[in-house]
Chain A
Amino acid sequence: MSWADIGDYIRNTQLWKSIFRHPAPRDRRNRVVVMLTNVFLHLHPVSVRKSGIDLSYTWCMGGITFFLFLVETVTGVLLMFYYRPTLEHAYNDILSLRDVTTLGILRELHRWGAHAMVITIWLHMYRVFLTGSYKPPREFNWGVGVILLVLTLLLSFTGYLLPWDQLAIWAITVGSNMARATPLMGYEGPGSKLLQVGGVELIHSGSDARFLLLGGRFVGETTLLRFYVMHCVALPLAAALLIAVHFWRVRKDGGISGAL
């Protein structure tokens, strides 16, 4: 029996046929069918312009960004088994990931993947701009992409706090200090003093935008919980939703670039 025979045998079993309802994608017809009958492959169209598979044209950065999002999701879920977002445990859990835990390298994968994702999403945007791919009919999808860029930065920013070391809290302190300068909504922001009722200030350090972000007047345990929930649940869900819209619109708008 040759390898090809074994392959044919497997493809003729009831199990295989129940999963893949067509022969191997060797001829043109089945290469089309394979794209239509698989939910993951169906993210793609059946055929694309030749420029769409030319790496020197696309740089592959959008695809890599999505791949890194998946890497972050998988490593992130696994890290959640090891990490408790409390003042008592957070730092020590990271410490044990570094020194004791068998798969502690997950943290490195997660952190470097996050840095890489920030770079690749910028490069993706750079390519889309320089090829004029935001022009009609893709104006809306460019906007979705900008929100995804913001979500990526927020995901990275919220994750930065979780190790609860000096690097983490001071980076978040520097970053979130900006919020108290929000016009009208921050207690050191221009115009906030104007928001008074009968001489009582509505916007103070216990009610302003920074307080909302941190859940307190400084970066503390409430902040850790808030950032943890944002990082692990809210922001990934929002990103996943918009990624779906983004991909769907790429297809509906006639591929990754070029006039219709």
Chain B
Amino acid sequence: MHDHYGLSGSLQTGIGLFYFLVMLMNVGFALYQWYDRKDQLQTIIWGAVSAIFGIHAVAYLLHFGWAIFPWLQHAIDYAMGPTTYFLLAVVGFTVLLYFRAFFTDPVVAWSILMITLWFSGLAMTNINFKDIITKPDNVPIVMLIFSVGFVTWLALRKAVINDERIAAGQPPVEKEMEEKVLVWPDLVYTELIAMIICTLILIVWAIVLKAPLEQPASSARIPNPSKAPWYFLGLQEMLVYYDPWMAGVVLPTLIIKGLMALPYIDFNQKGNGYYTFNERKFSVTTFLFGFLVLWCVLIVLGTFLRGPNWNFFGPFEPWDPHKNVPLNNVNLSDYFWLYLLGMSTEGHWFLRELPGLLFVFGYLFVLPPLLAKTIFRDFFIRMGFVRYMILITLIQFMACLPIKMVLRWSINLKYIVFIPEYFFNI
């Protein structure tokens, strides 16, 4: 069947099947609302949503050629940039945590999922979006997005319920599951079923999707962009803001060391063996920010939105290798000597970089005692000097990425310290 929008028939059939599955999900949700929750209004709403997805399924299966509105594509591409993308992620993260009781409500969470799925199907009609999403090695990231989204909802939902129970003087749900059950048969059979399901998924995945194999390796032809494996793309994204010795060596090392140090830093004995947010606000917020925003969000950015020359491309924007992005970044030493004092930056590197070195020194050695005296006073008293310093140093290194991002976006700062003589640029 031919259509007027340049959408291939197989793509439309695929999207039609996808919407058909989403329709079935909504039929299931409506039935759940009817039989289990006895909620007529919700049943009607989700019945109607099923119908909407059903119409989409029919339209795509009959190859109507519905494409995503061009104005929406252009608006999203126009609004998207590294700045807006990251800021949106941070705002979304903050709103999610603050209004966690609202967002983890099953109906709200389901609505968000449905909007996401509806938009995902529609977005697939854009050739640029489709090509990057369906690259075989990028499929895991789609799985990552949905699985991390799901378990984050699940964990926060359980935390909200437990926090309400604790506030009402009851024990968390998990504490009422303390009684022991025999491993044979309950656990052994669960494991067996899990193994069978995993095997099935893996076999279907292996049949449907061929493992990628490109042209033979050649050191003469450098692909543009050259990307690390997907799980390291958060680190590669950090290269925009820091030199390799920071982004590729120091920060990854500190991520590993910080993770290993975590049980020895976290002195809070509460929240052991059950989901909770209120009892562990600081540690959960810090960890979630690190894992969701600084790790997963940056992987998605590095995989889907970074194209040739590591330039940013909107999700619907063609990857044009000649896209020209002005680089007018300035070092801190230039700001200080040239712009502020009107002097030259020539001379010994130590004098030139003194402002930046003082800034870094202050950040690493003056800030921790100041924080110990003020907002982290309670932590300092309870943790003692050594543990407090380790915690603060780790948090400072974690924070140095967002700090550099903000400095780059606001005043085009390139390096705080710039000593190319010793490859020591921060």
Contact = CB atoms under 8 A, between A and B. Distances in A.
Contacts of A127: 151, 155
Interface SS of A by simple majority = helix
A156 B231 contact: yes
A45 B188 CA distance: 11
B229 A157 contact: yes
B330 interface: no
Interface string A131-153: 11111101100110011011001
Of B143, B184, B219, B227, the most chain A CB neighbours within 10 A belong to B184
A182 B249 contact: yes
A8 B250 CA distance: 63
A60 B223 contact: no
A174 B228 contact: yes
A181 B243 contact: yes
B174 A129 contact: no
B423 A189 contact: yes
B44 interface: no
B262 A142 contact: yes
Interface stretch (B49-57, B66-74, B265-273): B265-273
Nearest to A119: B144
Contact of A60 (B194, B229, B266): B194
Contacts of A53: 181, 186-187, 190
Contact of B260 (A31, A143, A165): A143
Nearest to B191: A63
A116 B140 contact: yes
Interface in A88-132: 91, 94-95, 98, 105, 107-109, 111-113, 115-116, 118-119, 122-123, 126-127, 129-132
Name the interface size band of chain B: 35 or more
A77 interface: no
B289 to A, nearest CB: 13
Interface in B172-218: 174, 177-188, 190-191, 194-195, 198-199, 202-203, 205-207, 209-218
A31 B226 CA distance: 55
A189 B211 contact: no
Given A53-B190, A133-B273, A138-B263, A165 B155 contact: no
B326 to A, nearest CB: 25
Contact of B273 (A64, A129, A132, A171): A132
A242 interface: no
A186 B422 CA distance: 12
Contact of B180 (A48, A122, A142, A169): A48
Contacts of A173: 226
Contacts of A64: 194, 198
A87 to B, nearest CB: 8
Given A53-B181, A127-B155, A98 B210 contact: yes
A82 interface: no
A26 to B, nearest CB: 10
Contact of B226 (A63, A170, A178): A170
A20 interface: no
A46 interface: yes
A164 interface: yes
Of A45, A48, A113, A189, the most chain B CB neighbours within 10 A belong to A189
Contacts of B222: 170
Interface string A188-230: 1111111000000000000000000000001100000000000
B143 A31 contact: no
Nearest to A34: B184
Given A109-B202, A186-B249, 7 more contacts: A67-B198, A135-B269, A166-B221, A167-B213, A169-B217, A188-B423, A193-B423
Sorted nearest first, the 10 A-B pairs with minimum C-beta distance are: A178-B248, A258-B273, A108-B206, A139-B263, A181-B244, A50-B177, A181-B245, A51-B177, A115-B140, A190-B424
18 contacts: A28-B182, A57-B174, A67-B194, A107-B211, A108-B206, A112-B140, A115-B140, A118-B231, A119-B144, A132-B273, A139-B263, A165-B215, A174-B226, A174-B227, A181-B244, A183-B245, A183-B250, A193-B423
